[in-house]
């Protein structure tokens, strides 16, 4: 595989944004910014064997998820994604067709949001594949949805079912036996191809003082981050958390998937109680799933409590940690 030939093949033939002056082809990209807007920049690195399994995923699956998780970060700020850059360390044994499939799938996802590929890098490696994606987005000044925005009395919400990605991973790792192939396929797809909640994030940015996080490391971890940033206590309730109707049939420890599994890439956040009903209706009109799962309790100690109908358990800040390797 020739690097320059690959660059030629993946270079976009047209661009969605007129602000781009120089795209791929020079040492760096150049683009103009809009007045009245702020830029949002995020970056994620995925390593084979840690964040994905090339033995269980197609190049298209890997490309999709690498871009999707970064778009999700932009959504969690209430912003809109515009540009992306891709850097890949390619192991020996990968072919040009594999790389093209990866970039093609990223391109398909990017087109949904009119995103432009404006740069990156490609190197070879004797180790595992490493793919790093940077996404640049924008948001109106002062409208970013920050973790520090939660206040006592706020409603806590999520945008969709939780635990499904962890269930899919459990199937892939053969920790959960497959009894129903169609069922397993659904959960595996939820793990490999999460849906970034961009539209939900944009709606959140229209409201005052919304706190947001995307669920990458697990619900418990994300809520603790909001609690710490806002210095509040959070109560959530088992019966209110949306899960797939089959989830509890898959494993006795399904609640751990919901609370600590991660990689659902739904949004979790809080909004003031007096805005909740209007916000809920706004989401419903746009056919965006939204569920109230709890309340912000009080200012002071940063704590998260899980009420399961019988007692209350404090949720520790744990989930997927790349250095502690605990779930």
Annotated binding site for Mg(2+): 27, 44, 73, 121, 214, 217
Q: How far is CA 167 from CA 154, 179, 227, in A?
A: 30, 13, 27
Sheet holding 312-314, edge to edge: 211-214, 267-271, 155-158, 291-299, 232-237, 303-307, 312-314
The token duo for 117 is 């590929």
Binding residues for substrate: 51, 263, 320
Element (H, E) at 68: helix 59-75
Pair of tokens at residue 167: 């269930």
Collect all residues with Cβ–Cβ distance below 8 Å to 196 and sequence separation of at least 6: 68, 71, 72, 74, 75, 265
Q: How far apart are CA 89 and CA 39, in angstroms?
A: 27
Q: What are the C-alpha distances in Å from 127 to residues 48, 53, 98? A: 9, 14, 17
Residues belonging to the binding site are 27, 44, 51, 73, 103, 120-121, 147, 214, 216-217, 263, 320
What residue numbers does the annotated binding site for ATP cover?
A: 103, 120-121, 147, 216
């Amino acid at each position: 595989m020739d690097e320059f030939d690959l660059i030629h093949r993946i270079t976009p033939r047209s661009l969605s944004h007129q602000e781009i002056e120089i795209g791929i082809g020079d040492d760096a990209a150049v683009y103009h910014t809009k007045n009245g807007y702020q830029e949002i920049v995020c970056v994620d690195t995925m390593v084979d064997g840690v964040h994905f399994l090339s033995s269980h995923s197609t190049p298209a699956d890997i490309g999709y998820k690498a871009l999707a998780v970064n778009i999700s970060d932009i959504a969690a700020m209430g912003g809109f994604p515009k540009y992306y850059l891709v850097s890949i360390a390619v192991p020996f044994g990968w072919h040009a067709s594999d790389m093209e499939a990866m970039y093609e799938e990223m391109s398909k996802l990017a087109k949904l949001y009119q995103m432009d590929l404006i740069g990156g890098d490609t190197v070879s490696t004797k180790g595992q594949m490493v793919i790093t994606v940077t996404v640049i987005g924008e948001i109106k000044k002062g409208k970013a949805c920050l973790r520090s925005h939660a206040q006592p009395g706020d409603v806590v919400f999520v945008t969709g079912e939780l635990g499904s990605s962890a269930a899919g991973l459990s199937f892939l790792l053969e920790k959960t036996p497959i009894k129903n192939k169609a069922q397993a396929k659904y959960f595996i797809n939820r793990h490999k191809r999460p849906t970034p909640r961009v539209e939900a994030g944009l709606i959140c940015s229209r409201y005052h003082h919304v706190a947001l996080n995307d669920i990458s490391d697990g619900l418990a971890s994300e809520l603790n981050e909001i609690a710490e940033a806002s210095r509040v206590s959070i109560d959530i309730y088992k019966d209110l958390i949306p899960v797939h109707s089959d989830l509890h049939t898959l494993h006795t420890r399904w609640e751990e998937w919901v609370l600590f599994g991660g990689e659902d890439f739904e949004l979790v956040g809080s909004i003031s109680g007096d805005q909740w009903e209007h916000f809920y209706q706004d989401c419903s009109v746009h056919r965006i799933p939204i569920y109230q799962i709890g309340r912000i309790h009080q200012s002071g100690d940063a704590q998260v409590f899980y009420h399961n109908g019988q007692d209350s358990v404090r949720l520790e800040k744990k989930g997927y940690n790349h250095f502690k390797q605990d779930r």
